[in-house]
Every structure is written in C-alpha cells, then in structure tokens.
Amino acid sequence: MKRKSVSYAKWGYIFLAPFFIVYIIFSLYPLIQTFYNSFLSYVVDRGSIFQSTKIEFGGLSNYASCFSKDETLFQSFLNTIIMWILGFIPQIAVSLLLATWFTDLRLKIKAQGFFKTVIYLPNVIMASAVAFMFQAMLARTGALYGLFHAANDTTILNTVWGTRGTVAFINFLLWYGNTTILLMAAIMGIDPGLYEAAQIDGATPSQTFWKITMPLIRPILSFVLVTSMIGGLQMYDVPALLTKDTGNPIGKAYTLIMEIQQRKDSDVGKASAVCVLIFIISAVLGLFTMFFLDDTREKKKKRRKA
C-alpha cells in the first residue's frame, strides 16, 4: 500500500462547486417546481394587484386540456416546427456551401477574413432589432414593400406564409454565419491528405464533398442539428415581435414559447404543463437525432471488420 501520490481531485470538485450550486438554485429547483405546478389548477386573477390566486390540486387536468379539441397548442407546435424547418434547410445548405468554398484547397479565396466577418455579422445584432427592422421594411411605407406585398394591398406580414417566411428568413440570416464557422472548423479538422489522395485518383469536387467531407463532419452536423432544433423549439423573440405577441394571422405564427408567455401570469398550472411537454419533446427529438447521426455505431462496425 503506497499512498504517496497527492490527490488533486478535491480541488476539481471545489472548482466545480460554484456551477452546481448556481445550477441547483436557478435551474434544478425551478425545474422541479415547474413539474409540481403542472399538476395544480393554479389561476391568478390579473385584475387585482394583490392577485387573488386559486390553487388546488388538479391531477392531470392541465395535460388533458393541452390535448383538447379547441386548444391551440398543437397548432403552435406545428407552427414552430414549420418555421424552424423553413429556416434550417437554407441555413444548413448555404453554410455547407460556404464552408466548403472557404476551406477548398484549390479555390484559395482571397480576403477570407473579411468575408467570414461579414457572414458572421448578422449574428451579432440583437434578434429584436432585426425583427423591428424587417417590420419597418415590409410595411406599406417600407423599402421592401414594392418587392414583397400581399395580394390585398397590405404588408406580407398580414398573410400566413408571409409571416412564417419572414420569421424563417430572419432566423436563417441570424444563424447561417454561426453554422458556417462551426462547419468550417469541422472541415479543417479533416486530414488534407485525404483530399490530395482523392484528387490524384481523379475524384471530382462533388465526389470529394459527398464521399469525404460529409461523412467526416457528421458529428458536427448532428451537433448543429440538435442545437438548432432545441433553439428552434424555443423560438420566441422574432415571431413575438413581428406579430406583436398575437401570433397572427390566425395564430399561424404562434410558437410554443409564446403560448407559455401568454399564460404565465394567469394560468400558471397550464403554462407549467406546456413547459413540461416542451421538455419531453426536446428530449425525445434530441435523443432521436443523436441515435441516428451518431458515428460511434459505424466505428464499432469497422472495428469488428479490422
């Protein structure tokens, strides 16, 4: 029994402690509270200052009412997914294209730093500022009204697809720079020798892209997909500002978080139930994507072959 080596482990725990303390107070406790509240019938009367609050145990009634027929939640879930997909597809396509160009050994694009900065810039602007800007530009008095306006002579923000499209476009604009940087990092991590060897063997650029780049950046792609999906499910600021919290036209731009924001001051129980549902959906979708895009399964196969 030699116990000469000094254990530094405790310092690790000490340095970790602040995070866990903060996490427990500000994240874990509210999380548990939310689960608890979701089982209560918890109604606050906003018409009084010392808000008269009715709290009683409601069992699963909040969850049941989330799935009732005249409930807007499912529609809002669909809206959220539609607006996310509309933004994500162009985002990933443009990002992949730009990342490939910037890292291509043969293209050798000049002034890369400049372009990268410009591409990343929209991400630095606050989403709310961009939303207000688009609102002003698409208004009847705005600069873009001539190009984009609805058939009945109003702004496209009065039409379902105009609004959804604008939300998706703003999300695309804000995030494609960020994704490009991530994907570039991934591509630069690939051994250049692979590309050289492929070129010597006469592979076309599209072949190297599909056969070398794509398989090797899959972990990062799945990371991008999962983070973007979770961010997408929590879409709030842009649609809320563009539609002035109404989610109109006809609630087709309502997102799940907007549903929570509307309810949180009065229908606390139901709002908590919606939070829990979003939590479950995020978890399921996240696990699903991780499972299908995880590259460890393939590695296992390869190892078996070897």
Contact residues: another protein, CB under 8 A: 43-51, 54, 70, 72, 128-129, 132, 136, 139-142, 152-155, 158-160, 181-182, 185-186, 189, 219-220, 223, 244-246, 248-251, 259, 262-263, 265-267, 270
Nearer to another protein, 116 or 263 (CB): 263
Residue 140: CB minimum distance to another protein, A: 4
Residue environment code for 188-203, b if the CB has 16+ CB neighbours within 10 A, otherwise e: eeeeeeebeebeeeeb
Residue 238: CB minimum distance to another protein, A: 14
Nearer to another protein, 208 or 243 (CB): 243
Nearer to another protein, 175 or 204 (CB): 175
Residue 175: CB minimum distance to another protein, A: 12
In 3D space, the residue among 46, 42, 82 whose CA is nearest the CA of residue 58 turns out to be: 42
Alpha carbons 42 and 156: distance in angstroms, whole number: 39
How is residue 156 annotated by DSSP? G
Residue 10: CB minimum distance to another protein, A: 24
Nearer to another protein, 34 or 248 (CB): 248
Alpha carbons 146 and 69: distance in angstroms, whole number: 40
DSSP 3-16: --SPP-HHHHHHHH
Alpha carbons 254 and 204: distance in angstroms, whole number: 45
What are all long-range contacts of 111-115, with beta carbons under 8 Å and residues at least 24 apart? none
Nearer to another protein, 45 or 284 (CB): 45
Residue 266: CB minimum distance to another protein, A: 4
Nearer to another protein, 11 or 19 (CB): 19
**What's the Rg (C-alpha) of the chain?**
25
Nearer to another protein, 206 or 252 (CB): 252
Residue 185: CB minimum distance to another protein, A: 5
Residue 261: CB minimum distance to another protein, A: 9
DSSP 78-137: HHHHHHHHHHHHHHHHHHHHHHHHHH-TTT--SSHHHHHHHHHHHHHS-HHHHHHHHHHH
Do 239 and 86 touch, CB atoms closer than 8 A? no
